[in-house]
Structure 1
Amino acid sequence: MKLNYMKGRFKLSLLLSFILLLLTGCWSSKEIEDLGLIVGTSLDLETDTNSREESEEQEARNSNKELITITNQFVTSETTGSGPKEGKKQQAYKNVSETGDAVLPTLRNMILKNDKRAFAEHSKVIVIGEDFASTFNLKQTMDFFLRELEMRPSALLLIAKNHASNILESNEPSKIPAFQLVEMMKGHKKTTKIIPPMTFAKLEGKLYSEASFLLQSVVSENDEIKFVGAAVIEGKTKKLRGFLTGKELEGITWITGKGKGGLVTSFYEETDQPIIYEIISTKSKIIPHVDGDNISFNVKIESEGRIAEHWVLSEKTFDNKFLKKAEKATEKEVERLVKNVLDKIQHEYQTDVSGFGTRLRIEYPKVWEKVKKDWDQIFSGVPIQCEVNITIKDYGTSGE
């Protein structure tokens, strides 16, 4: 009996010892005071001669190879006020820059000027400068970030007009620009001037295809960050081809039918006064036609919405005649937006960033196999007809 009791106590002791081992804490834990949390990164083409010479001296070589400047935006215990500088007014972030000819060695050189261990699992956004995106193949330069285990698949990719590092600066000490960009991107559900977010999860597929695509563009003007249109990335070169304006981006959104909200400003034909149409829903269908070697497309766009505002005092909002005229005016404006952007992407940029090639591949796979290698060039000469049908379902509570 005593022997069984002793065996029971021994087994219990072993079990408790095993449980205690599991409760000793996280073996891989990292003290927050020792970390520099990377929340945003910018990449720019280095144009400063002094920086170039200094970098080449560090690498013990002399070359005409283009160099890149990487800026990491850190949030640390000091910047958040939880460290030794608590109580003092200071910026909520710290930017650290380094120049080199490849991403990883350049990031490693930041250790020489940063006393915190870089930790990228909280990275929100990468901003690429205009010159950088025009010079380098994005498939090559994004290779490190796509491989890096610490990078989140939800991180965003943006293209900056001019210098990307400017986008990670703010005059307001309490604001963290990387977080601000993420919040701004959420506005794509309410406007056709912001494209759906390009996350790293989506980016890899885009870079490994031959299709051209769009990235949201951003600019820093008068110390304010602002989304302005979109950057056109050419499928073959994976380089920046040019930019679309906000209005041209609206046209793309109507073609693709991906807009979840937004406004259209048209003008009443008889008085030239504005009518503001707010989108409730929209859908688009791209229909390819093949006749021998000739390819053409029809785009059918349908939308339901409401009159959010109008300045036409001579008409009653509830009147069917006025509603029909408002619908026609809105249709005319949408057709203009679509026509203008088609002219630019077909004839100036010669890049299909609106899904015409995808529809051709799905409905005519054999034809697609023949044309896919030169699709952007072929697309530039393809006839496209657009048909728009607007239905006003709501006109608010005013206007009787």
Structure 2
Amino acid sequence: MKALAVNKSRLFLMLISAAILFLQTGCWSKDEIEDLSIYIGMALDIGEQSKVEKALEKQGAGYARKKAMTFTIQIINELKGGKGDKTPAAEQKAYINMSETGDSIFEMIREFSTRMERPVIGHHLKVIVVNEKLARRKRMDQLLDFFLRDNDIRPSAVVFISKSKASHTLETQSSTVVPAFRLLGITDNQYRSLKIMSPVTLAKLEGKMHAGMSYVLQNVVSAKGEVAFSGAAVIKGSSQKLIGFLNEKELVGLMLLSGQGKGGQIKAYHEERGEVISYEIKKLESKINAIVKNGKVTFEVEIETTGRVMEEWTPSELEINEAFTKQTEAAVKEEIEKLVLSTLAKLQDKYKTDVAGFGQRLRIQHPKVWEPMKKDWDEEFSQIPVTIHIKSKITEYGATSRR
């Protein structure tokens, strides 16, 4: 009898489950992917109408707006190699770029609806590139306001600055490369180069902008369809405008100073012989200590690296012994010190801006001291002495048999 009751219960549950599945109709408001234009990249430049825009405007396709900026979107070419297209698939690009000029990003996005049969959606936006000139004129929190408000756009989108025209970073001469994906992919190489920052996403930026903190954004330059990461743009927290750049060496110094580097190479020269030494960092640690004594604030930074020598041009007959290793470690330490001090001087003396996290350490370690200083922290930081302590250790010399 008990077995019969259990079987009846199971049968009842199965019937209920079947009824629920039958009643489900799916998402009533769904849009088929082939009916949408999925944009994955965006670029913001100083306003300059394209030839197409000018031609359309001459025929009355204009509307009231200031031509303050040009907004470019990169759309995945879903029709690449599709039926009815006579262009060989090998010659078709995997993306389509479209531009609109105006003063409201939201308005410009909606304006694309008058030029395209498929509505654009931003669920898969990967990168946003802002031109240097525009970032100097307009506040970053204003330029990014729409992206932070739009529920369609994910906060994981990565933000870049470009010294060259931002829309050019979303171009390539290859038919297989998608420029937005290329930019995102380069950020994955951070473990191989100290010239590549951790991706700065909309989610990370929102907190910094609301707090009035200064920060850096990776600079990307372009030429003939190719791109390269080259240094970083410094954004002043109080004005939210671009005030200058760190070159590639200074960015390396910042990565060492802040401990954000995941790995990379340091090139030094042997003191006596002048030969090249390439040191690959396998582990990087940086600790900033805020010290308050007699009402005065100072900082001490402890930077420690371990790594291996991947290239050195010393004579083959020279023995690699403990003395040689110490000389090599000293050369690497000296180079790291030069990079860090050069970056620190530029941040404190020229830009008067803290983008390395000194203020955060003071806030955590000495909150009462931080409180009256936080309003004008960048200016305060520029006057505070910083002492650097560096340790560099060589753990191996690669696969060479010479010892």
Q: Same fold (TM over 0.5)?
A: yes
Q: Deviations over 1:112-137 (max 9, x none)?
A: 22222112111111111111111111
Q: How far apart in 2 are the matches of 1:371 and 1:71? A: 41
The Cα of 1:358 is off from its aligned counterpart by 0.9
Q: How far apart in 1 are the matches of 2:182 and 2:28? A: 34
Q: Which residue of 2 aligns with 1:41?
A: 42
Change in 2 beyond 3 A, CA 1:52/1:371 = farther
Mean CA deviation greater in 96-105 or 43-52: 43-52
Q: Which residue of 1 aligns with 2:212?
A: 210
Counterpart residue identity of residue 76, structure 1: N
Q: Which residue of 1 aligns with 2:179?
A: 177
Q: How far apart in 1 are the matches of 2:18 and 2:250? A: 68
SS at structure 2 position matched to 1:134: helix
Counterpart residue identity of residue 238, structure 2: K
Alignment of 1:320-335 (within 5 A): 320-335=322-337
Name which of 18, 21, 25 aligns with 2:23. Answer: 21
The unaligned stretches of length 5 or more in structure 2 are: 1-12
Does the CA-based 8 Å contact 2:214-2:238 persist in structure 1? yes
Q: Which residue of 2 aligns with 1:4?
A: none
The Cα of 1:14 is off from its aligned counterpart by 8.8
Q: Which residue of 2 aligns with 1:310?
A: 312
Q: How far apart in 1 are the matches of 2:319 and 2:342? A: 30
Alignment of 1:101-140 (within 5 A): 101-140=103-142
Q: Deviations over 1:128-165 (max 9, x none)?
A: 11111111111122111111111122211111113111
Counterpart residue identity of residue 58, structure 1: G
Q: How far apart in 1 are the matches of 2:254 and 2:132? A: 21
Q: Which residue of 2 aligns with 1:6?
A: none
Q: Which residue of 2 aligns with 1:31?
A: 32
Change in 2 beyond 3 A, CA 1:16/1:274 = closer
Alignment of 1:138-177 (within 5 A): 138-177=140-179
Does the CA-based 8 Å contact 1:303-1:391 persist in structure 2? yes
Q: Which residue of 2 aligns with 1:85?
A: 85
The unaligned stretches of length 5 or more in structure 1 are: 1-10
The Cα of 1:234 is off from its aligned counterpart by 0.7
Does the CA-based 8 Å contact 2:49-2:70 persist in structure 1? no
Alignment of 1:1-400 (within 5 A): 18-22=20-24, 24-47=25-48, 58-60=62-64, 67-79=68-80, 81-82=81-82, 84-85=84-85, 87-88=88-89, 89-313=91-315, 316=318, 318-398=320-400, 399-400=402-403
The Cα of 1:337 is off from its aligned counterpart by 0.1
Counterpart residue identity of residue 311, structure 1: W
TM-score, normalised with respect to structure 1: 0.90
Change in 2 beyond 3 A, CA 1:364/1:176 = same
Q: Deviations over 1:197-220 (max 9, x none)?
A: 111221211111121011111000
Q: How far apart in 1 are the matches of 2:50 and 2:95? A: 28
The Cα of 1:48 is off from its aligned counterpart by 5.7
Change in 2 beyond 3 A, CA 1:74/1:49 = closer
Change in 2 beyond 3 A, CA 1:83/1:167 = farther
Q: Deviations over 1:334-382 (max 9, x none)?
A: 0000111111111111110001111111112111111111111121222
The Cα of 1:17 is off from its aligned counterpart by 5.6
TM-score, normalised with respect to structure 2: 0.89
Q: How far apart in 2 are the matches of 1:41 and 1:106? A: 12
Does the CA-based 8 Å contact 2:172-2:224 persist in structure 1? no
Q: How far apart in 2 are the matches of 1:91 and 1:52? A: 25
Q: How far apart in 2 are the matches of 1:394 and 1:13? A: 68
Does the CA-based 8 Å contact 1:129-1:161 persist in structure 2? yes
Q: Deviations over 1:16-71 (max 9, x none)?
A: 5643232x45423322221111010111121569979969993446xxx6611110
Q: Which residue of 1 aligns with 2:9?
A: none
Does the CA-based 8 Å contact 2:262-2:284 persist in structure 1? yes
Q: How far apart in 1 are the matches of 2:301 and 2:18? A: 70
The Cα of 1:193 is off from its aligned counterpart by 0.5
Mean CA deviation greater in 26-35 or 146-155: 26-35
Percent of paired sites with the same residue = 40
Counterpart residue identity of residue 129, structure 1: N
Change in 2 beyond 3 A, CA 1:36/1:57 = closer
Does the CA-based 8 Å contact 1:46-1:52 persist in structure 2? no
Does the CA-based 8 Å contact 1:37-1:120 persist in structure 2? yes
Mean CA deviation greater in 122-131 or 311-320: 311-320
The Cα of 1:82 is off from its aligned counterpart by 4.2
Q: How far apart in 1 are the matches of 2:222 and 2:78? A: 27
The Cα of 1:314 is off from its aligned counterpart by 5.9
SS at structure 2 position matched to 1:171: coil
Does the CA-based 8 Å contact 1:131-1:162 persist in structure 2? no
The Cα of 1:396 is off from its aligned counterpart by 1.6
Counterpart residue identity of residue 164, structure 2: N
